[in-house]
Structure formats: C-alpha cells, structure tokens
Amino acid sequence: MKNKHKINKNRIIILAIFLVCCSAILAGASTVEKVFVDQADSYRLAQISLDHALRSQQLKEEYQTALIQIITEYNVGKLSAVDLEAKILALRVPAEYKTLHLQIVQATEKMLEPDKGKAEAKKQWQNLQKKYWWLAATLSGLIASI
C-alpha cells in the first residue's frame, strides 16, 4: 500500500512539474508575442509618421510651385489682380505656410485698393520678398508692376 501511495505521489509531483513547465512556456510565448506586437506597432507608427512627413513636404513643394506659377501669370499679364487673388485663395496651404499665405492674401487685397493701398501692398510684397528666398525672383516682377 505504501508503494501505491508513493507511485501516486510521484505521479502528482511529475504532473505538477509538467504543469509548471507548461505555464512557464506559455508565459514566455505570450511575452515574445507581446514584443513582436509592440515592434509591429512601433513600425506602423514610424511608417505613418514618415508618410505624413513626405505628404507634408510634397504639399509644401506643390504650394511653392503653384504660387510661383500664379504670380508669374500675373507678371506676364495673363491674370488681373482680382484673378490673382482668386487663384491664391484657391490654393491648398500647408500648415507651415499659413502665415505666409495670409500675408500674401492681405498684400493682394491691398493691391485692389486705390492709391494708398497700392503703396502698402508694395511694402508688404517687398517684406515677403526679403523673407522667402524662393519667392524673391518672382515677386520682383510683381513689385515692379505696382
């Protein structure tokens, strides 16, 4: 009888060790899975951030190109001051250029005012010309025409 109890005790001990080992393996697997999920999440966030930065840069370049083209059209007489303002207002503006865009709209509106407004517009355009190197050459023609 003692022998039978001893065999049952051994089986219980082996079963307990087996269950502890299985639990440890499952816990380890769960931790590994969590690490992989965290890494995948980090990768997705980095990708989203990179995509946003690329779209932002692309929007900036599109804005610069479109703005230069619109002002050039005005400089060569293809657009009136009213059309210039309308096209500028229709542009999609990147966050970085919102202040610039507002200043351009204000300067354009001043151009539409008689006498004193044109002098103020010229000063505003000259300030923008000094501030934004990529607009400088294009604004020279516009300033000359005021």
pLDDT for res 15: 78
Identify the domain containing residue 65 by its residue range.
2-145
| Angle at the Cα of 84 from the Cα atoms of 98 and 56, rounded to 5 degrees | 30
Whether the predicted pLDDT of 1 surpasses 60: no
State the pTM of this model: 0.68
| pLDDT tens column, 5-27 | 666 777 778 877 877 777 777 77
User: How many domains does the chain contain in total?
Assistant: 1
CB 103 within 8 A of CB 139: no
- Is 94's pLDDT higher than 70? yes
**What is the C-alpha end-to-end distance of the chain, expressed in Å?**
114
* Residue 121, pLDDT score: 93
Distance of alpha carbon 19 from alpha carbon 8, whole angstroms:
16
59-81 mean pLDDT: 96
Q: Which helix (H) or strand (E) holds 66?
A: helix 2-75
Render pLDDT for 50-65 as a digit per residue (tens, 0 to 9).
667 778 899 999 999 9
Amino acid in position 139: L
Dihedral over Cα of 20, 22, 28, 31: its sign: negative
Average pLDDT rounded to a whole number, residues 63-92: 96
pLDDT at 35 over 70: no
